[in-house]
Structure formats: C-alpha cells, structure tokens
C-alpha cells in the first residue's frame, strides 16, 4: 500500500515537472527563439505563454529593447590630416533573433561588432571632410552616411543601428596642449608688438612735447624780450622826459639809486674824495659845515 502511494506521488511530480518544462513565458521586453537540436524552429515576438516539447526543445531569450553603445572618444584624421577627438554614442536593436544568435551568440560579441563597424565608418566619414567642414557640419550630415555604411554590414548579423549621435568634436589632449601653447606664444608676440608700438608712440609724443615746449619757451622768451625792450624804451622815455623837465633833480635821483646799489651789503669803496660819485655827499657836508 505504501509503495503504491509513493509511486503515485513520484508519477505526479514527474507529470508536474514535465508540464512545467513544456511551457515558457515570453516577456514584453523579449523575443524568444525556440531551438531544437541546435536548429531554429520559430521566434515568438509577442508576450504570452507558449508550449514546447521538454528535453528536446529549449528557449533562448533575446532583449528586443533599444540598447546603447557608448565607447570612449576616438581619434580620427580629417581630410587635411588634422587629428580630431570624436565623442559619440549609438542606439541599436536586434532585428533578426535567429541570425543574431547564430552569428553573435551574445551581447558582448554584438557590442564588439558594432564598435568595429562604427569606428571604420566614422574614420571614412571624418577622413572625407576638412576640419572646418567637420566642425560646421550638421549632425545629420555626419551621422547619416555612417549609419548607412554600418547597417549594410550589421544587418547581416541580425542587428540594426537606429541612431548615431556625435556628442562632441574636439582636439586630442596632446594637440590641445600644443594649440594652447601656440596661442599663448601668439598672444605674447602680439603683446610685445603692442608694447613696442606703445613705446614708439610714447617716444614720438614726448619728442613732440619737447619740441612744443622748446617752441613755447622760445616764443615766451621772445615776448619777454620784446616786453622788456618796450619797458626799457618806455622807461628811457620817461627818464628822458623827467631829465628834460628838471635835469638837476634827475641827476640827484640817479645818484641816489647808484648810492643804494653801491653801498648796500657793507660795501667798501676806495675812491678819490674829489670823484664825481661823491658830488652830493660833498654838497651835504658843506651844508652841514655852515
């Protein structure tokens, strides 16, 4: 009796396991490739519950969502042999699960094939454009020919690159440093040229200022001499008029001025007492003696 019960339990477990192995579920984000003895039977692309023969058949699930390929920036040469650093990423999708599994087996191999195809196509495209054309080109101008060339190869492997975006086009670090140094040298050269021009202009301004200064001083000196000459002439005229009106007073006034200048600052004069210079002194002494 007990052996019969165990036999029934074992049979039921076997049936349950057989039934569970006979069904498979396809998620909405997956494609299911049904294989039998290494050969493709069919592809289930719609989500749901499906039936298969256990043991003889197995299912390979393949992600049908968009997947990203985002490598490190790559360096390419332009048509004018100038290196540029291109930063890009791509979106790809499995379009034929059977071919994809047969040729690539997994996502790692797919990424490698996509990277190789993109690098080759980008190298050819960048090499057909000059540096100026590449910088000013639109996204579509650069990416459209690359996508066409890439998909001609990758569609035979069951995948399709749907979008390619060029994030940035720049110079490689070593070229960028050399460019910065060259720009710095050019700016230093320009600064030196500006300084030299400024010094030359300053020297010219100083020379003109000195010239104007000399001219102004000469003109001022000439005007001074003219004014002094006019003053002296006017003074001489006044003195002449005064002398004509009272010659004795004029002679006395002139003698006083001579005394003032000659006898200032403790001046010592050794003269003959009968000198005309002492005329008015003698007159004053005679008056005092009276």
Q: 139: closest CA among 96, 100, 168, 108?
A: 168
Query: Per residue in 19-72, pLDDT tens?
Result: 666 777 888 888 888 888 878 778 888 887 877 778 787 888 888 889 999 999
Mean pLDDT rounded to a whole number for the chain: 80
pLDDT of residue 221 exceeding 90: no
pLDDT of residue 150 exceeding 90: yes
How confident is the model over 87-115, as a mean pLDDT?
89
- Per DSSP, the chain holds a count of helices (H) and strands (E) of 8, 9
How confident is the model over 77-87, as a mean pLDDT?
88
pLDDT band at 262 (very low <50, low <70, confident <90, very high): low
Continuous segment of H or E residues that includes residue 175: helix 173-245
How confident is the model over 214-239, as a mean pLDDT?
83
Q: What are the two backbone dihedrals, phi and then psi, of residue 96, each rounded to the nearest 5 degrees?
A: -135, 95
Written as six digits, the tokens of 56 are 């003889």
How confident is the model over 249-269, as a mean pLDDT?
67
Written as six digits, the tokens of 253 are 């006034």
The confidence score (pLDDT) of residue 240 equals 72
The confidence score (pLDDT) of residue 288 equals 43
How confident is the model over 2-7, as a mean pLDDT?
66
pLDDT of residue 289 exceeding 50: no
Query: Per residue in 156-181, pLDDT tens?
Result: 999 999 999 988 888 777 766 777 77
Q: Which residues contact 221 (CB under 8 A, 6 or more apart)?
A: none
The confidence score (pLDDT) of residue 161 equals 93
Continuous segment of H or E residues that includes residue 108: helix 107-127
The rounded distance, in Å, linking the Cα atoms of 12 and 52 is 20
**What is 67-170's CATH number?**
3.30.479.30
How confident is the model over 199-217, as a mean pLDDT?
88
Q: Report DSSP state, residue 155.
A: G
The confidence score (pLDDT) of residue 101 equals 86
Q: Which residues contact 183 (CB under 8 A, 6 or more apart)?
A: none
How confident is the model over 193-212, as a mean pLDDT?
88
Q: Which residue has the higher pLDDT, 185 or 262?
A: 185
The confidence score (pLDDT) of residue 163 equals 92
Instruction: Write down the residue that tokens 């969502």 correspond to.
Output: 65
Q: 154: closest CA among 86, 88, 104, 105?
A: 104
Written as six digits, the tokens of 280 are 């008015």
Specify whether the CB–CB gap between 85 and 74 falls below 8 A: yes
pLDDT of residue 286 exceeding 60: no
Q: 88: closest CA among 149, 147, 157, 131?
A: 147
**Tally of CB atoms within 10 A around 245:** 9
The domain segmentation of the chain, as residue ranges, is: 2-63, 67-170, 250-290
pLDDT of residue 111 exceeding 80: yes
Specify whether the CB–CB gap between 98 and 40 falls below 8 A: yes
The confidence score (pLDDT) of residue 211 equals 87
């Amino acid at each position: 009796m007990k052996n019969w019960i165990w036999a029934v339990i074992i049979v039921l477990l076997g049936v349950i396991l057989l039934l569970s192995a006979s069904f498979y579920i396809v998620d909405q984000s997956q494609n299911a490739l049904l294989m039998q003895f290494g050969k493709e039977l069919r592809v289930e692309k719609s989500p749901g519950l499906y039936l298969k023969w256990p043991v003889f058949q197995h299912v390979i699930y393949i992600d049908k969502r968009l997947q990203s390929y985002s490598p490190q920036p790559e360096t390419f040469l332009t048509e004018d042999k100038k290196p540029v650093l291109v930063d890009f990423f791509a979106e790809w999708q499995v379009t034929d699960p059977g071919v994809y599994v047969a040729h690539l087996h997994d996502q790692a191999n797919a990424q490698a094939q996509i990277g190789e195809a993109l690098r080759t196509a980008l190298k050819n495209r960048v090499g057909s454009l000059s540096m100026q054309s590449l910088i000013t080109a639109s996204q579509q101008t650069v990416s459209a020919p690359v996508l066409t060339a890439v998909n001609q190869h990758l569609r035979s492997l069951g995948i399709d690159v749907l979008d390619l975006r060029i994030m940035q086009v720049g110079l490689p670090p070593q070229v960028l440093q050399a460019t910065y140094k060259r720009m710095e040298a050019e700016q230093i050269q320009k600064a030196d040229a500006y300084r030299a021009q400024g010094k030359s202009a300053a020297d010219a301004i100083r020379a003109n200022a000195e010239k104007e200064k000399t001219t102004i001083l000469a003109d001022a000196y000439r005007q001074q001499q003219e004014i002094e000459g006019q003053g002296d002439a006017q003074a001489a005229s006044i003195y002449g008029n005064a002398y004509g009106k009272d010659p004795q007073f004029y002679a006395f006034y002139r003698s006083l001025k001579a005394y003032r200048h000659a006898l200032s600052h403790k001046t010592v004069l050794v003269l003959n007492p009968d000198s005309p210079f002492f005329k008015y002194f003698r007159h004053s002494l005679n008056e005092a003696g009276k």
